[in-house]
Amino acid sequence: MESKSTFRRLLGYTRPYKSVYLILLITMIAGVTLDLSIAWYLNRITNAAVEADSSAWPSLIGTGVLILVLTVINGYADTYYKTRVSSSIRNDIRLGTLKKLLCLPGEFYQSHHSGELLTRLTSDNQAIGQACSDTLISLIRNPLMALLSFIYLLTINWKLALICIFIGPVTLIIGGLFGNMLRKNSNELQHRIAGMTSQIQETLGSSMVFKSFGLEKKLFQRLQMKSNEVSETEIRGGRIQATVNGAATAIGILAFIITFIVGGYFVSQGMMAIGGLIAFIQLMNHLTWPFTGIAALWGELQQAIGAADRIFKVLDEKEEYPAIPEQTGTQSDFQSLELREISFGYDPDQPILKEISIDVEAGKTTAIVGPSGSGKSTLFNLLLGLSQPQEGKIMINGEEIQAINLNRLRSFFSLIPQENFLYSGTIRDNIADGKADATEEELIRAATDANAIDFIRQMPDGFDTEVGEGGSRLSVGQRQRISIARALLRDAPILLMDEATASLDNESERLVQEAMERLKSKRTVIAIAHRLFTIRNADQILVMDNGTVTDRGTHEELIMSEGRYRQLYSGVE
């Protein structure tokens, strides 16, 4: 992405805050005026002291107090409104990015790590906010300060002022030479930070695994390597920035020394008053400092453009739907689900599913069994529209799902996933995710059907018990039963169960199976199962192996056929 187009796009986020930027323009001009007035004030007070003009002191003291008060007021307003516009723009970009992420298809999340996306929302977002406030204003303020200082210098001593002309162009050349290097380093740094964040997230989320296997040292070495890569990139960027700052500072100091020597000579020859020299030195600070700072500001701007590049790449991804949909009710008109010659693979050269054909009737239970990696869970991704088949078609009630709005498509389904993820909040919140306007009676019924009501009532706060991050305050079996209750409360016509009872003890599993039997009369169930005795009463059982359906039939039919199902079933009995 070209930096100019990125910068123009970034400026688009400033337009809603024109009034705030107008205030910042006023505070900027006021700040420049107050800074220049200090040079004038030093000139007046120095000359009054040299000339022993006691009559000038009352007005000089009053002027000094006025400059002080105005500087404090202007500084407060300037800092407040910079923070306000920075925070507002960061919030706009953050919310826009979050909204986009929620609307992106499942394939996007399969190819992007959550740590990488988290970096877009944090450090990249912070860099952009800084650029849209301090950096942007300073890039306007610094040249303005340098120009007005130079004009003022000309009024004091034009010969001396000409010595300062070379500072600006040379400093700008330095910034241009190193700006691209700073941007490339920033992109590399953010990439490495994203990798480190991803590694940290994986590590901190697997305490049981790394402690039980004694992986602390191995994981620390991985994190150490990632951290060292970040540190090395930061140091390399520091060297570039130090070179820019050092060169610019050296030029400014050289100009200051030359000016001080020549100015001292002019004073000694009576060509310049001592107060004028003091004012000149003060103005030299205002002339050299802006140009010295421009190199650093240019580097910050390049880093922000690099951050914007990465965020805009996310914002330019093709979404599933243009806006976040409202949570809708479920469908009630389901009659049939058909899969015809479905083939799919994340890599087209390595298909996971190969010409799968399945018919599912309303009110029937279909079980899918087979070894790991045979494509069972991939089928659920296709049914939910998380992925699209490369060949074949999927139809609900005779209508191809590609022609169905995704929100409506998913309203046909309730999902009980294998990984029983819960959101931070209460048990009530998590069950109610199945139906936002559920009554207390509906919540209790869903919890009862999922065999969760007893342990919920034993909790100190009942349904209002906090579950912790990802449900960490509950046991695995409790989390699974909350997940089941959430799916039951949704009351969709098709219930997808991906190893739904795998985390339950034998007694809980038996009670949940009884609940499933009671619900079969009003739901269509598609269940993935490894524990085959749990699906013996299914209306049809599909045996999958290596991406294809090798056998299908009832439990009795498949046992009699002496095929793959009988081998699998015998292995678990």
Contact 148, 32 (CB under 8 A): yes
Q: What is the 3-state secondary structure (H, E, C) of 120-142?
A: HHCHHHHHHHHHHHHHHHHHHHH
Q: Per residue, what are the HEC states of 250-294?
A: HHHHHHHHHHHHHHHHHHHCCCCCHHHHHHHHHHHHHHHHHHHHH
Angle 274-315/123-130 helices, nearest 10 degrees?
A: 140
The predicted structure's pLDDT at residue 567: 76
CATH number at residue 157: 1.20.1560.10
Q: What share of the chain in percent tops pLDDT 90?
A: 10
What pLDDT shows up at residue 22?
95
Contacts of 492 (CB under 8 A, 6+ apart): 330, 331, 411, 412, 413, 414, 523
For range 40-54, the mean pLDDT: 74
User: Do 235 and 309 sit in the same domain of this protein?
Assistant: yes
Query: How many CB atoms are located within 10 Å of the residue 328 CB?
Result: 12
Burial class (CB in 10 A: 0-12, 13-18, 19+), 461: exposed
540, amino acid identity? Q
Is the model's pLDDT at 164 over the cut of 70? no
Backbone angles phi, psi at 491, to 5 degrees: 60, 40
The least confident of 30-39, 211-220, 340-349 is 211-220
Cβ proximity of 456 and 465 under 8 Å: yes
Supply the Cα-derived Rg of the chain in whole angstroms: 35
263 versus 135: the higher-pLDDT residue is 135
Mean of all residue pLDDT scores within the chain: 80
Structure tokens at 367: 């079980």
Please work out, in degrees rounded to the nearest 5, the angle formed at the alpha carbon of residue 162 by the alpha carbons of 160 and 168. 125
The answer to whether residue 212 sits within a structural domain is: yes
Let me know whether 406 and 520 are in one domain.
yes
Query: Closest Cα to residue 499, out of 535, 475, 456?
Result: 535
Q: Is residue 404 part of a domain?
A: yes
What does the pLDDT look like over 425-471, one tens digit per residue?
899 998 988 888 889 999 999 898 888 898 999 988 999 999 887 78
Whether residues 373 and 440 fall in one domain: yes
Q: Identify each DSSP E strand in 424-486 by its residue range.
A: none
Please, which residues have CB within 8 angstroms of residue 8's CB and are 6 or more apart in sequence? none
**What end-to-end distance do the CA atoms of the chain give, in Å?**
60
Q: ∠ CA(509), CA(515), CA(519), 5° rounding? A: 140
Count CB neighbours of 98 within 10 A.
14
pLDDT at 270 (0 to 100):
74
Phi then psi dihedrals of residue 254, to 5 deg: -60, -45
Examine the pLDDT at 183 and tell me if it is beyond 70.
Answer: no
Task: Report yes or no on 554 lying in a domain.
Answer: yes
Q: State the pLDDT confidence band at 1, using cuts at 50, 70 and 90.
A: very low
CATH value at residue 462: 3.40.50.300
Q: Which domain holds residue 389?
A: 336-572
Section 221-238 average pLDDT: 85
Q: Where is the domain boundary, 315, 349, 379?
A: 315
In a domain, 87, yes or no: yes
Longest distance between any two alpha carbons in the chain, whole Å = 119
Q: How confident is the model at residue 213 (pLDDT cuts 50, 70, 90)?
A: low
Does 324 reside within a domain? no
Question: Residue 343 falls within a domain, yes or no?
Answer: yes
Residues 302 and 349 in one domain: no
Overall number of domains in the chain: 2
Last residue of some domain: 270, 285, 315? 315
Single-letter amino acid, residue 362: A
Structure confidence at residue 263 (pLDDT): 74
Mark whether 179 and 309 lie in a shared domain: yes
Does the structure show a pLDDT above 80 at 524? yes
In the chain, % of residues over pLDDT 70: 84
Same domain as 273, residue 195: yes
In the prediction, which pLDDT does 505 show? 66
**Mean pLDDT, to the nearest integer, of 542-569?**
83
Evaluate whether 139 touches 294 at the Cβ level (below 8 Å). Answer: yes
User: Do 514 and 438 belong to one domain?
Assistant: yes
From CA 467, how far away is CA 489, in angstroms rounded? Answer: 18
Considering the domain architecture, whether residues 285 and 418 belong to the same structural domain is answered as no
Mean pLDDT value across residues 399-420: 83
Give the least confident one: 24-33, 126-135, 196-205, 433-442. Answer: 196-205
pLDDT higher for 72 or 222? 72
Q: Do residues 270 and 177 share a domain?
A: yes
Domain end: 315, 344, 379, which one?
A: 315
pLDDT of residue 573: 43
Q: Are residues 251 and 360 in the same domain?
A: no
Which of 378, 376, 393 is closest to 342 using CA atoms? 393
Pair 286, 345 in one domain: no
In degrees, to the nearest 5, what angle opens at C-alpha 487 toward C-alphas 482 and 490?
125
Specify the range with the lowest mean pLDDT, choosing from 81-90, 164-173, 215-224.
Answer: 164-173
Assess if residue 331 is contained within a domain: no
pLDDT for the residue numbered 508: 64
Q: Report the C-alpha gap between 447 and 459 in whole angstroms.
A: 14
**Left, alpha or beta for 491 (phi > 0: left; psi -120 to 50: alpha)?**
left
Alpha helical stretches, state H, 344-383 = 376-383
Is residue 478 exposed (0-12), middle (13-18) or buried (19+ Cβ within 10 Å)? Answer: buried
Backbone region of residue 245 per phi and psi (left: phi > 0; alpha: psi in -120 to 50; beta: other values): alpha
Please report whether residue 105 resides in a domain.
yes
Helices (H) and strands (E) counted in the chain, each on its own, are 21, 10
Return the minimum-mean-pLDDT range out of 348-352, 359-363, 426-430: 348-352
Query: Is residue 24 very low, low, confident or very high in pLDDT (cuts 50, 70, 90)?
Result: very high
Q: Are residues 305 and 391 in the same domain?
A: no
pLDDT given for residue 171 in this prediction: 63
Least trusted range by pLDDT, from 37-41, 91-95, 144-148, 529-533: 529-533
